[in-house]
Amino acid sequence: MIYVIIGRRELGKTTLARYLGHARTPRLTLDPRAQWPVPRLATENDAQVWEWPVPHLATENDAQVWTNSVNPDHILEDLEEGHDVLIQPDDLEASIAASAWPARAYIMGGQSRQLTITFDEAGLYKEPLRASWSWMMRCSPRDRTTILLTAHRPQDVATDIRALADIWCIFRTTQVQDLDAIEERCGEKVRQLVQTLKPYEFVSWNDARAEMQVHKNPAAWYTPAIAPLQGEPVDPHRRELF
């Protein structure tokens, strides 16, 4: 399942991604702007917090953090041990490429394996993402893989990746070019609704089912949880192609 989450800064797209990715573990997160909570280091008094950069660190909540060079073999080991992996890289393009193979190797290593992959601020590495992660986007088992991409604008996500997206989550949008892209994929009704949203409200569009919901309660997804999000259903009246 591929989610594309569109929104300007401070509207909640990263928080929403954390919620949507909570149910399926382990989690591999690409976080170039260091927006995600940094796991704490276990200490005797349970109070120490790491300052950056740290090359690779095992932490008390069973997560691994990478900030410098990314070692694909070690990431695979981390995932196989059930650890979440958070990558806040110095070398963004190299890290995007290096993390693709362990994700593929992990999910294909057993029929019971599940994985959540989050690409936060995907517009910062649009082409490296497209080049290195094509197999995972196109061929990974949909019933066991959750892929989340957050971006400011639809154009920040490569067109062929947008075409594969199962669900769009769109916060308030007003720029004409962005609205044109949203209408092309999701229909005129979605275009209309996203212009009227208040801060922290969003529209979800299920492309496979041609179903739309409006989510007006940010408290429902502020704290990560396994429960699926339920919004207010809207009849999209989508224009048929044939």
Where residue 82 falls (left for φ over 0; alpha for ψ -120 to 50; beta otherwise) is left
* In a domain? residue 206: yes
- Please tell me the total number of residues recorded for the chain in this structure: 242
pLDDT band, very low/low/confident/very high, at 48 (cuts 50, 70, 90): very low
Q: Does 44 fall in a domain?
A: no
159-184 average pLDDT score: 95
pTM as predicted:
0.86
Q: Name the strands in the sheet holding 167-171, side by side, starting at the edge strand that comes first in the sequence.
A: 56-58, 63-66, 84-87, 27-30, 115-119, 145-151, 2-6, 167-171, 202-206, 211-215, 232-234
> Is residue 112 one of the residues assigned to a domain?
yes
CATH at residue 124: 3.40.50.300
The answer on pLDDT for 59 being more than 80 is: no
**pLDDT, mean of residues 145-174:** 95
Taking the C-alpha atoms of residue 65 and residue 197, their distance in angstroms, rounded to an integer, is 35
- 48 lies in some domain: no
Percentage of the chain modeled with pLDDT above 70: 85
Choose between 106 and 229: higher pLDDT.
106
Q: With cut-offs at 50, 70 and 90, classify the pLDDT of residue 138.
A: very high
- How does residue 89 score in pLDDT terms, banded at 50, 70 and 90? confident
Q: Are 63 and 39 in contact (CB under 8 A)?
A: yes
Whether residue 41 is contained in a domain is answered as no
Instruction: Identify the band that residue 220 occupies on the pLDDT scale cut at 50, 70 and 90.
Output: very high
pLDDT tens digits, 23-42 = 899 999 999 988 887 654 43
43, part of any domain: no
Residues 6+ apart with CB under 8 A from 53: 67, 68, 90
Angle, helix 72-80 to helix 92-107, in steps of 10 degrees: 40
Which residue reads 């800064």 in tokens? 9
pLDDT band at 79 (very low <50, low <70, confident <90, very high): very high
For residue 84, the enclosing domain spans: 2-36+55-234
Is 182 within the bounds of a domain? Answer: yes
Asked, for residue 82, whether it belongs to a domain, the answer is: yes
The mean pLDDT value for 164-179 works out to 96
Q: pLDDT tens digit string along 62-76?
A: 567 766 668 899 999
Mean pLDDT of the chain: 86
CB atoms within 10 A of CB 126: 17
Number of folded domains that form the chain: 1
